[in-house]
Amino acid sequence: MASRRKAQPEKDGRLIETDVLVVGGGPSAAWAALSAAETGVRVVLVDKGYHGTSGATAPSNTGTWCVPPGEGRAASVEQRFKRTAGLADRRWMLRAADQAYENLLKLVEWGYPFPSEEDGSLYIANLRGPDYMRFVRQRVQKAGVTILDHHPILELLGDDNHIGGAAGLVRRSGASFRVSAGAVVLATGGCAFFERILGGTGLTGDGSLFAAEAGASLSGMEFTGKYTLSPHGSSLNKGLPFRWATFYRENGEVLRNAHGDPVTNGIGGGERQVAEALLTGPVYARLDLAEPAMQDWLRRGQPNCFQPYDRMGINPFEQRFRVELKYEGTVRGTGGIRIVSSDCGTGVAGLYVAGDAASRENVTGGISGGGAINASWAIASGWWAGHGAAHHARRRQSRDAARLQPLGTAGLRGSGKRDDVDLAATAQAVHDEIVPLDKSYWRTAAALESSRRTLDDIWSRLGQTGPATGIERLRARELASVTANARWTVAAALLRTESRGVHRRRDFPGEDDAQASRITVSGLGKVTAAREILALETAREG
């Protein structure tokens, strides 16, 4: 028997040169890589996990905002715009729907196995996450893109106010590596704030921290108050079945609204009553409003939604089970890196953003993009960012890797000792300031100010902590990223003294027309929040 060849250890400090670097591994990263490769430039995709299985899409079954060309598209945009709390942009919505549909047709052309309708036509509005991500990984490989799995990026590299690459580590060895690039696309996903949700383990808002360290700003961070019902103790944040639920208190009493009617539809009108009741005690649900045909449809269409019940040995259509609301942060919330151009530029030369790492206010306004809008946004924004990065890289001829300087701060460099901060305990402390219902589902000035002080203190201690070593650098940077995202969220939430979209203030319960503008946040040591006049550039062809 031939002996297995021993793997060679990675060279510490390895330098990789490319034209476009895509950071991330979800659908927006795949589309950015495909888009850039289409122009003929060299592309490297680096993923914290394994490209095709990491992130929120891979374990999901998601719809898309799939609207064929024609009058119906404008009508769909207008209908959706009415639900965006006045902060979306119809031009961006229209071009996103257009680009997403065009790229869904590319999937058809490439042979993606869409199911067929009864009339034989392909049903292209739905994407089964595992199949979808496995398929696009194969397309990325065929396009000649270099994929580096399990190579988390820790910081960006820059020179002369221009982003020229990134640095990271190899998970299996802890070795360092650097990538020199003409442009970088951040497609790192949203921030789940250490909440246990499906596919959210690695979603720590890394891209937002990288961008802020480079001088970019963020927008929409107050719209992180998105929660989804889940079986208690489960990581499953797929709430669709709760549309057919009735809710109960622990003693079996039916939960009722202010009019005395039973609380139903936990992903619609009943959510707030459930959230209110959860502040005073356990809440239970039963999917007893689903007829037998609907029960069968739900089990076939959302099979992973029923795994927790099967493990518990209960029939959720007949038996009550305890529920909780899972915080989803910017994964299904809205906030992220501010976009300043139609090719998803960040305002920092050479730096582009796509997917959940970007603010989705252009297409979702102050509400959640849910699954469908966010899925189409990932497709469209990835395509635009990939093209933008490729064109920028082509224009930037002169590059000198030796001049690249690291931009990372907290979690990487500091003056203190390594044991100054207990990473696990500090991560829990940050989670406890941003996830609880009485801090992010309903907000008040007093609670926000208290969280601000706590988070500022944590950030200060992270900045004074000495340099981490080996794989611990990743844990330290993830903690820094989540802490930074929490501070930006609190700053924006304090400035928006009204309730709008998924931002709910108990002390300001009404919507204020004078505040129908966006809020940008920036800064690390000192966080600044400011109102922005809603005047976006005229959308050009992506």
The DSSP line for 396-465 is -----GGG-EE---TTT--SS-GGGS-HHHHHHHHHHHHSSIIIIISB-HHHHHHHHHHHHHHHHHHHHS
HSE, side-chain direction, 13 A CA sphere, residue 362: 30
The reported pLDDT for the residue numbered 163 is 96
Helix (H, G, I), strand (E, B) or coil at 158: strand
Count of Cβ atoms closer than 10 Å to residue 296 Cβ: 11
Condensed to tens digits (0 to 9), the pLDDT of residues 303-357 reads 778 888 888 899 999 999 999 999 999 999 999 999 999 999 999 999 999 999 9
Confidence at 417, pLDDT banded by 50, 70, 90: low
The reported pLDDT for the residue numbered 299 is 86
Q: Scanning the structure block, which residue is given the tokens 């995709």?
A: 45
CATH numeric code, 14-223+330-406: 3.50.50.60
More confident position, 234 or 31: 31
Per the rule left: phi > 0, alpha: psi between -120 and 50, beta: everything else, 451 is alpha
> Average pLDDT in the 251-277 region?
91
- CA 31: distance to chain centroid? 16
Where, residue-wise, is CATH 1.20.58.100 in the chain?
Answer: 418-532
Active-site residue set? 272
Cross-strand partners of 184: 21, 351
Give yes or no for residue 505 having a pLDDT over 80. yes
> Average pLDDT in the 429-434 region?
97
CA distance 322 to 207: 35
> Average pLDDT in the 178-187 region?
97
CATH numeric code, 418-532: 1.20.58.100
pTM of the model: 0.93
Count of Cβ atoms closer than 10 Å to residue 161 Cβ: 10
> Average pLDDT in the 11-19 region?
89
Where, residue-wise, is CATH 3.90.700 in the chain?
Answer: 227-327
Instruction: Domain 227-327: give its CATH architecture.
Output: Alpha-Beta Complex (3.90)
